[in-house]
Amino acid sequence: METDPAIIGTVFAGCKIIEKLGQGGMGTVYKARHESLDKFVCVKLLSPDLARDQRNIDFFLREARSAAKLEHPNIVHIYNFGQENGSHFIIMSYVEGKSLQDLVSEKGPLPVSEATNLIAGILDGLAHAHSKTIIHRDIKPSNILVNTDGNPHIVDFGLARSINEEKQLTMAGEMIGTAYFMSPEQGLAGQVDSRADLYAAGATYFYILTGKYPFDGKSSIEVIHKHISEPLPNVMLINPDIPLWASRVIERLMRKKPEERYQKADEVALELRKYNSGELQISTGGSTEKTFDLPELTSRLSVGAPPPPPPPGARPAASPEKAGQPASGGQPKPPPPPGAPPKPAVKPPPGISSELQLSTLHNGVKIITHFAITISATCCFILAGAAGKTSGSLYDPLISSPAMTILFAVFGGALFVWAISQKPSKFTMLYGGFALAAAAAAYAGGAYIPAPEGADIATKAFLAVQIGFSNTASATTLLIYAFFLYLIASKIVFRSNWLVKAIAVATYLGGLALTYFYFKAGLPVTPNDAWLTAAGALTVAGIFAAVTQTQFSLFLNPQLFFLAANVAFFAMFTNPQVEMIAQDRYRQDQEEVRRVNLSNNQDYRKAIEMSQSEVLYDVEGRPIERRLPAPPSEIKPASLAAQRNQARLAYYTALSQRISASLVDSAGIVFIALFLALMANLCFIEELLGKYRELDSY
């Protein structure tokens, strides 16, 4: 709608129009002086083009009715609304200041304290609106005006509706809201309640703290799809100055499922103010302290490690009080006198070295020592990968800092060799595979740490630990946990002990549950009966195989059944999305083909008409018979099956890229490296306990 210069200076609905303030999707907003109230006000006029549709008028008037019910210092006040001289208008309070969008555009990301106070004020206004059963449904920075005192005011209730409204002004399946700040349920045109406003408030908080949208894309559909299916980026990676409590509040506000978010706006406002004032703090807990204490503990264990075993044939020194052991002088102690109670005697059998005669405490020390060695080796490979100057390249560390990269890699390799030397069976293929995979994943994790360009090795390593621990409960790590639960269960499933079998089955089921929650990702998808039945049948078969089998079987294989069950869960949730993409592409292709065929037919008819209207003659004056053009062949759209194949390829490509990006952004590759090192430790413990049981059987 273009500005009508004639309206400036005129009196409209008792208000003298002074100047134009802005223009939105529904109309134009003017600054005016209310003659009766003798104060500045805003006059919003509905665009004449939109006024031709009664539905737009209903939207416009619904904004006025919704906002008129509300009296709150963080919501603009409505003085009057109606129709005059054929124009629909709303008269509202004037806020001297700028929109939150303009503030961020001019100043960049806002300080945490200022941003938190603004969001708390917005939440206060939303709490009042929600108490009147009004949902805004379009909270975003451009709809928040900040006055000169720094107080926010919510405007534009054009999409608001009452929870109790019976008349719906939105058509079924229509998405309402702004894509960058739209909740997943709005993107899916599902049931919307006050928690959608909390999601949008969280996205607004994210934006004013970072200057970036939580999800971006080339189109609104792409952005909405990311809101629905992709994990929320870590706000602390974008702006490291943001405190952990702010990151956690944003994460909870923007969870995919409404029931997992905060439930009330005033609850969030109160919590934010307590955090901002320092009254409430996030406890780091004991886990962080244990992490930093672990190297010291490791060094102490290394110093106090047991001495090497004596040479073959020698007997270990022991207390003379123990029967059957040599005394200090080397002579055996005589047997006890007759009638005395026998004392317990442990005599090492021939051929069994003293290294294997380990007490429970000694085994525990060896396990902790081995754990410290393997984790230290993994950290060395992380540092080797972090030695590069540019993140995101596996070759940059070797090119930019070859000496540091090779030094850390060699030291890490030496530690893994030392860990292997601690094993009773020395080198084994399974253990070696886990150690090699842990080293490779650790190097890749170090190389892909999302650190600022030019950051040193120590900064990168610390950032990797910080990001990793901050994402331990993130949705991005669910697949990692699921994968390693599957590995652990597969490692122990063939044990004959029933308790161990029960643990293996529970671990398999836990991995399946994590796979389910990851791919569901908040989508209200009705599972396909066929895939759901297949997943259930495969799970039952896997449980049966796990319970009955004590050794590897090619056909009745629990590992294969549970792997197939995971694949069935994947297909159950991805196939509906692939089908949706295929249907959209099919409709677009049909429309395009219909348009091209129509254009070709029109061109053909024009050619026929031209040939009939013009008569050409040869040099002798005889009319030339013109050859009519051949009718155009009809273009056929691609089949739905072909569109499905293309959609499946595109979706799986996008999914793999999403998972790869999530692994990088959440330090997930570092997690994988640590889990592989833990699997190597599990192999070590299994071997150690096996030798201990072998010794105990003599």
Active site residues: 138
Cα within 13 Å of Cα(520), Cβ side: 17
- What percent of the residues of the chain are helix, what percent strand, and what percent coil, each to the nearest 5? 55, 10, 35
DSSP 293: H
Q: How far apart are CA 666 and CA 660, in angstroms?
A: 10
Both tokens of 536, joined, read: 């259930």
Report DSSP state, residue 77.
P
At 409 the three-state DSSP class reads: helix
Q: Retrieve residue 345's tokens.
A: 């005697």
Pick from 338, 685, 265: nearest CA to 491: 685
| Rounded (10°) angle between helices 402-421 and 429-447 | 150
Strand order in the sheet with 78-84: 11-12, 15-23, 27-34, 39-46, 87-93, 78-84
CA dist 631 → 558, 590, 597, 607, 613 (Å):
63, 21, 11, 10, 18
Quick check: 29 and 44 in contact, CB under 8 A?
A: yes
Q: What would you report as the CA-atom Rg of the chain, rounded to the nearest whole angstrom?
A: 36
349: exposed, middle or buried (Cβ count in 10 Å: 0-12, 13-18, 19+) = exposed
User: Two tokens at 290?
Assistant: 């244990």
Tell me the DSSP string of 577-608.
Answer: HHHHHHHHHHHHHHHHHHHHHHHHHHHHHHHH
- Angle in degrees, 0-180, between the axes of helices 498-520 and 558-613, rounded to the nearest 10: 20
Give the Å distances, CA to CA, from 120 to 71, 129, 276, 442.
Answer: 17, 14, 10, 41
Distances in whole angstroms, Cα of residue 611 to Cα of each of 618, 626, 630: 16, 7, 13
Token code pair at residue 577: 């999305």
Q: How far apart, in Å, are the Cα atoms of 174 and each of 157, 235, 263, 666? A: 18, 30, 25, 34
| Structure tokens, 263 | 């439930």
Contacts with 625 (C-beta within 8 Å, 6 or more apart), sequence order: none
Alpha helices in 230-359 (DSSP H): 235-238, 244-253, 265-277, 285-303
The closest of 642, 129, 674, 94 to 439, measured between CA atoms, is 674
